[in-house]
């Protein structure tokens, strides 16, 4: 397919480098604030989203499927992620590069030429992502990897994406940028879009990520698939989920269905707990402060692990090898994500908690974690919030500990 490059005059562009890929951007796009109204969408600050995608796809190829990959990049913009995947010598048999915006597709063609990428592995198209997925789902060979990177919510693409992806050991990569919805600033919109009630609390980022996982998993289930989250990544106002697909009704019933539950949060004392079922009118009294007025529930949400250690270890290893700009930041984020495994849901923002307790001394987080461990509890950092810690210590005991430190 050849796209008309009628208005692509050389002096209308600037040249940029991201990772190993060279990129043309429309000149006026390069000076505007990233928005839908750009000629072709490109957000420099989202480089971290593309970095993590490259690391995750390479890690998937090394661990779960060691054959040449078929990948669908259905919302490519400038084509930057695909270009970087191709330039990072990821083992690719075929890559679908698509965008609904015809100006974007013209630019992608130009960017492929700029990077000397031969067309034999590329399927370039200008379609609605759902139409592309429907067409792909008819093929004999289903893609190994699908990436969805929309403006805002991915919700309307997830169903057709599960129809198109390989049913076993496929890698689904999904971004959501509608964080105000998932983090409970717009709770009604969250119920409408994700069929789940959010909570606007200090740990709403984790709950939002778990609501997104719940939604993706439920849509997988109705397509006779299940998912295993490999990495659930939050940064810079986006959540990106990397999940492995599996099939089999029994496995779905055993693994997926007991991964859904609810969060109960006492707005008076901050007590929180997870339950696997929410029954009408239950529970109604906070077991800690006996408040029966302000007990809030959130969900349904994903209540099992949101990362796999094997996958995160491989990402850490690859971060050393691949052309990634934010290496140090990644090491920190992935290290904190690793610490989240086997820890309870939710976290405590230490600054807010000290403020609430009117404490003037804010302990160093790593010292606090050591102290909690010395008291016989578990504690860790969290990648969702660098000022917070996770612990299985009850909130009243935790508050007492903070007060004792001040004394």
Ligand X SMILES: C[S@@+](CC[C@H](N)C(=O)[O-])C[C@H]1O[C@@H](n2cnc3c(N)ncnc32)[C@H](O)[C@@H]1O
Contact (Cβ atoms closer than 8 angstroms) between residue 65 and residue 41: no
The distance of closest approach from Cβ of residue 81 to ligand X in the complex, given in angstroms and rounded to an integer, is 5
If the CB atoms of residues 100 and 185 are measured against ligand X, the closer one turns out to be 100
| Residue spans of beta strands (DSSP E) within 238-354 | 238-247, 260-266, 272-275, 295-302, 348-349
Among 29, 48, 77, 143, binds ligand X (CB under 6 A): 77
Kindly state whether residue 46 participates in binding ligand X, applying the rule CB under 6 A.
Answer: yes
Kindly state whether residue 128 participates in binding ligand X, applying the rule CB under 6 A.
Answer: yes
Q: Give residues with Cβ within 8 angstroms of 311, minimum separation 6.
A: 56, 59, 60, 63, 230, 231, 242
If the CB atoms of residues 87 and 197 are measured against ligand X, the closer one turns out to be 87
Kindly state whether residue 286 participates in binding ligand X, applying the rule CB under 6 A.
Answer: no
Among 48, 80, 146, 165, binds ligand X (CB under 6 A): 80
Distance between CA atoms of residues 228 and 308, nearest Å: 8
Kindly state whether residue 101 participates in binding ligand X, applying the rule CB under 6 A.
Answer: yes
The distance of closest approach from Cβ of residue 58 to ligand X in the complex, given in angstroms and rounded to an integer, is 17
Sheet holding 260-266, edge to edge: 272-275, 260-266, 295-302
Kindly state whether residue 75 participates in binding ligand X, applying the rule CB under 6 A.
Answer: yes
Kindly state whether residue 125 participates in binding ligand X, applying the rule CB under 6 A.
Answer: no
Among 55, 104, 181, 212, binds ligand X (CB under 6 A): 104
Contact (Cβ atoms closer than 8 angstroms) between residue 280 and residue 268: no
Distance between CA atoms of residues 401 and 407, nearest Å: 10
Buried b (16+ CB within 10 A) or exposed e, 82-102: bbbbbbbebebebbbbbbbbe
Count of residues touching ligand X (by CB under 6 A): 20
Among 81, 106, 228, 380, binds ligand X (CB under 6 A): 81
* C-alpha triplet 204, 266, 298: angle, nearest 5°: 45
Kindly state whether residue 50 participates in binding ligand X, applying the rule CB under 6 A.
Answer: yes
If the CB atoms of residues 46 and 334 are measured against ligand X, the closer one turns out to be 46
If the CB atoms of residues 5 and 258 are measured against ligand X, the closer one turns out to be 5
Q: Of the listed pieces 74-82, 229-237, 255-263, 302-310, which binds ligand X according to CB under 6 A?
A: 74-82
Kindly state whether residue 178 participates in binding ligand X, applying the rule CB under 6 A.
Answer: no
Question: Which strand (E) or helix (H) includes residue 204?
Answer: helix 204-222
Residue nearest ligand X (C-beta atom): 77
Is the Cα dihedral 7, 11, 16, 20 positive or negative?
positive
Kindly state whether residue 100 participates in binding ligand X, applying the rule CB under 6 A.
Answer: yes
The distance of closest approach from Cβ of residue 34 to ligand X in the complex, given in angstroms and rounded to an integer, is 8
Kindly state whether residue 150 participates in binding ligand X, applying the rule CB under 6 A.
Answer: yes
Kindly state whether residue 13 participates in binding ligand X, applying the rule CB under 6 A.
Answer: no
Among 55, 129, 312, 324, binds ligand X (CB under 6 A): 129
CA distances from 133 to 112, 177, 344 (A): 23, 21, 37
CA dihedral 129, 132, 136, 142 (to 10 degrees): -30
Residues lying near ligand X in the complex (CB under 6 A) are found at 41-42, 46, 50, 74-78, 80-81, 99-101, 104, 128-129, 149-151
């Amino acid at each position: 397919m050849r796209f008309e490059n009628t208005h692509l005059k050389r002096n209308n562009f600037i040249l940029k480098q991201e990772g190993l890929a060279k990129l043309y951007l429309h000149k006026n796009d390069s000076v505007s604030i990233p928005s839908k109204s750009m000629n072709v969408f490109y957000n420099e600050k989202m480089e971290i989203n593309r970095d993590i995608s490259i690391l995750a796809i390479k890690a998937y190829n090394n661990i779960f499927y060691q054959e040449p990959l078929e990948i669908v990049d259905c919302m490519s913009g400038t084509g930057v992620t695909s270009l970087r995947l191709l330039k990072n010598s990821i083992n690719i048999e075929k890559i679908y590069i698509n965008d609904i915006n015809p100006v974007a597709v013209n630019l992608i063609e130009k960017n492929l030429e700029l990077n000397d990428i031969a067309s034999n592995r590329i399927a370039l198209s200008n379609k609605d992502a759902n139409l592309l997925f429907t067409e792909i789902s008819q093929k004999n060979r289903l893609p190994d990897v699908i990436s969805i990177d929309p403006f805002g919510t991915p919700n309307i693409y997830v169903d057709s994406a599960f129809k198109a992806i390989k049913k076993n050991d496929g890698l689904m990569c999904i971004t959501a940028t509608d964080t105000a919805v998932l983090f409970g600033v717009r709770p009604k919109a969250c119920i409408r879009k994700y069929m789940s009630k959010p909570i606007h609390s200090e740990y709403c980022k984790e709950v939002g990520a778990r609501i997104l996982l719940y939604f993706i998993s439920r849509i997988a289930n109705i397509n006779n698939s299940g998912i295993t989250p490999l990495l659930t990544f939050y940064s810079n106002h986006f959540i990106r989920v990397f999940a492995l697909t599996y099939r089999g009704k029994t496995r779905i019933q055993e693994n997926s269905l007991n991964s859904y539950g609810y969060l109960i949060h006492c707005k008076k004392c901050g007590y929180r707990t997870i339950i696997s079922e929410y029954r009408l009118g239950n529970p109604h009294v906070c077991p800690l402060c006996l408040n029966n007025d302000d007990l809030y529930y959130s969900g349904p949400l994903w209540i099992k692990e949101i990362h796999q250690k094997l996958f995160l270890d491989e990402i850490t290893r690859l971060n050393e090898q691949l052309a990634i700009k934010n290496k140090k930041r990644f090491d920190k984020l992935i290290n904190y994500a690793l610490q989240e495994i086997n820890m309870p849901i939710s976290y405590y923002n230490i600054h807010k908690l000290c403020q609430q307790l009117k404490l003037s001394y804010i302990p160093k987080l790593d010292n606090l974690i050591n102290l909690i461990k010395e008291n016989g509890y578990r504690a860790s950092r969290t990648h969702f919030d660098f000022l917070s810690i996770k612990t299985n210590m009850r909130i009243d005991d935790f508050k007492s500990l903070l007060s004792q430190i001040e004394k």
